[in-house]
Amino acid sequence: MRRVQSIVLLGVLVAAGCGSTPISPSSIETCAGFGEWQTSPYVLPYAVGTSYFVDQGNCSPPGNGHTGAAKFGYDFLMPIGTPIYAARAGTVTMVEESHFDGQVAATGFDNVIVIQHDDGTTALYGHLTHDGAVVGVGDRVLQGALVGHSGNTGNTNNKPHLHLSAASCDPSALGTASCPTLPMNFRNTAANPQGLQRGGSYTALAFELFGGKPSLA
């Protein structure tokens, strides 16, 4: 609901024109730049036929986590141990799985997998369970392949969930601040031209890999 408000505010900002008191741009996240969702390179990172709730989406309200360089991303509420599948093919560049579920803090306890895609962008799968990765650094993973299991580690606000975000470069090498997140939508669910919406639940549908091969999941 609050996201709808921010869209309205942006509309006001655009329509206000000269002479009106502008709304401070710094108070509004610009959350645009999505490609065609039907041909998105991404699929939902969970099993075909399952559905999860988006607790936090792109451009969070102030006080929440998806802002600034990290403004594009999704938090899918799911029980600890839910299988996580690659949203896009790539090569694993980072695995951290040493932390334990319930080790919740703003920094320092996140279990993550980072996968770099062929165009240099990356996807980060966050808050995974202890020993929750089934891939290792250097592994090549196909879209839809099992990569790990979700958990409740790190900056979760003590809500077990998967954080998924795409970034312009490899945050495990260059730092998250140097690799701004990117708009991400998904071709195997309901229409999502502006990405998934906070407060919605999205079912993963069967999909084809690019090239017409059937999905693995």
- State the chain's maximal CA–CA distance in angstroms: 58
Site residues for Zn ion, 152-171, by CB under 5 A, read: 163
Binding of Zn ion by 127 (CB under 5 A): no
Which residue lies nearer to Zn ion by CB, 13 or 199? Answer: 199
Which residue lies nearer to Zn ion by CB, 64 or 93? Answer: 64
Which residue lies nearer to Zn ion by CB, 29 or 75? Answer: 75
Give me the sign of the Cα torsion angle 197, 41, 76, 152. Answer: negative
Candidates 10-18, 68-76, 85-93, 198-206; binding stretch for Zn ion (CB under 5 A): 68-76
Which residue lies nearer to Zn ion by CB, 103 or 215? Answer: 103
Which residue lies nearer to Zn ion by CB, 78 or 207? Answer: 78
Least distance CB 161 / Zn ion (angstroms): 7
Candidates 11-19, 72-80, 98-106, 172-180; binding stretch for Zn ion (CB under 5 A): 72-80
By Cβ distance, which residue is nearest to Zn ion?
A: 163
Give me the sign of the Cα torsion angle 28, 33, 36, 42. Answer: negative
Which of 29, 75, 96, 97 is close enough to bind Zn ion by CB under 5 A? Answer: 75
Least distance CB 10 / Zn ion (angstroms): 22
Spatial separation of the C-alpha atoms in residues 42 and 197, rounded to whole Å: 16
Least distance CB 66 / Zn ion (angstroms): 6
Task: Transcribe 88-147 into DSSP letters.
Answer: S-EEEEEEE--S-TT-B-SSS---EEEEE-TTS-EEEEESEEEEEES--TT-EE-TT-EE
Q: Total residues contacting Zn ion (rule CB under 5 A)?
A: 2
Spatial separation of the C-alpha atoms in residues 115 and 135, rounded to whole Å: 10
Which residue lies nearer to Zn ion by CB, 116 or 181? Answer: 181
Helix, strand, coil percentages (3-state) for the chain, rounded to 5, are 15, 30, 55
Residues near Zn ion, by CB under 5 A: 75, 163
